[in-house]
Structure 1
Amino acid sequence: MSTAVETRPEARTPGMWGASRLYAAGLVLFGVVGIFMSGLILHDKIMLLQDVGFTPACTLNDVVSCTDVMNSSQAAAFGFPNPFIGLVGFAVVLTIGVALFAGARFRAWFWYGFLAGLVFAVGFVHWLAYQAVYEIEALCPYCMVVWAVVLPLFVSTVVRVARSRSLDRGGVQSSGVAAVGMPAAVVVVWYLGFTALILQQFVF
């Protein structure tokens, strides 16, 4: 039992933080999904630029309309198509996940930098969601998958950083159930909030 505790990266080297295989696998999964969906959005955006009559597969009606979303000014918030941000950002997530799964550890400043990137991502996602629901008044299923991926990435990383800081200060590692249950509950409530706003805008 004592050997298991001594081999934890957090306990052995304060300031050099690793992560569980579950967290690392989550980064890999979310990174792959994010890259794939960003690629689909970019493909359809390029097709729309080449042919104004092109209809993306995710355009079903006036509400579920990737066409309206992709043709909006918000789809290029920084002067270029938003999917480029997703392709780069999720590639970083995937790379970090693979490294952690292989047993890598990173200095605390690296984790804070990663968390700062996710703060930007989750803020950007909320802005895009607001624009889609209340300004464009149309939904893009591909974009919504990206939103759904960013939220658990952010929450799980906040928890990961907080626990690593706690271990550096002599805290006790929480149980596996607590490590998964609390972040999962936060994400579920977040999803329910998004769903309620969408239903209120488009259904009720």
Structure 2
Amino acid sequence: MTGVTQHSAPDARAAGDLDDHDGPDDLLDADPTAGELDDPDSAPRRAWRRRTAIEMVVSGVLGLYTSFVLSIEAWHLAANPQATFSCDLSSVVSCGTVARSWQAQLLGFPNAFLGIAFEVVVITISVAAIGGVRFPRWFMLGTQALYTVALLFAYWLFHQSYFDIGALCPWCLLITVTTTLVWAGLTRWNVRDGHLRLPGRAGPWARDFVAAGTDWYITVAWLVLLAAAVLLKYGPSLLPA
């Protein structure tokens, strides 16, 4: 009797284990990073995270510089509403026309001030990540939500310039590009580290997708499409008069 009891206990535990985890997909659902070939704290994985953070720092610094330039232009425009700028190249390419629109001060102050705040946040996080800091999931999701708002705002401004204002600001277009690149890098980071969790098989697929760098093709294709839309609408009007 004793031998039978001792033999049946492991069998019961094994059966319980099979019930809890029916296959690899269940393990992936329980732990979003468990199915990846490299450990989140492994050297290759840290190197990947560092490269992504460097990309975000470069884009963020460009965005920050652009936001400062736009802030200075807004200050000059407040002092002299008739001021002209070096990027007033034609009736279409005109920073002044865009800066004088109500959309340029949606919240009652120049939008560039928001750009400075957003870029400082993402640069700080990226620099910390380059140094090896890993942030908790709630923090990364909060940053994702914050920068998604920044992305939507940037594209709303582009939409307004493209369809309503009828003029384009080169600095604003650069902000749109850098915001897109930072958002893409942040999303790639959050998907790969399991902060953004897609249901079922979509989760492992998304992590493999960004781990292979395939999302870069989508990002580049989107920016090319954006440039093509500008060229198709304005064409020769983009050249200096």
Which residue type is aligned with residue 8 of structure 1? S
Q: Secondary structure, in 3 states, of the residue corresponding to 1:21?
A: helix
Identity %: 30
Aligned letter for 1:51?
N
Which residue does 2:164 correspond to in 1? 135
Residue 186 (str. 1) matches residue 215 (str. 2): no
The structure having more radius of gyration, on CA atoms, is: 2
In structure 2, distance between residues paired with 1:187 and 1:167 = 18
Q: List per-residue Cα deviations over 1:77-126 (Å, max 9, x = no partner).
A: 11111000000110001100110011001000111011101211111111
Cα deviation, residue 6, structure 1: 7.2
Report the CA distance shift for 1:70/1:183 in structure 2 as closer, same or farther (over 3 A).
Answer: same
CA contact (8 A) 2:49 2:189 kept: no
Match of 1:14 in 2: none
| Long gaps (5+) in structure 2 | 1-37, 237-241
Unaligned runs of 5+ in 1: 12-16
Report whether the alignment pairs 1:117 with 2:141. no
Count of matched residue pairs: 193
2: CA distance, partners of 1:158 / 1:165 = 11
Task: Say which SS state the counterpart of residue 181 (structure 1) adopts.
Answer: coil
Decide whether the 8 Å contact of 2:104 with 2:111 is kept in 1.
Answer: yes
1:8 to 6, 24, 42: 42
> Please, what is the CA RMSD of the aligned residues?
2.9
Moved over 4 A (4+): 166-175
Kindly indicate whether the alpha-carbon contact (under 8 Å) linking 2:67 and 2:115 is maintained by their aligned counterparts in 1. Answer: yes
TM-score (norm: length of structure 2): 0.72
- What residue number does 2:98 align with? 69
| Residues 32-41 or 151-160, more deviating | 151-160
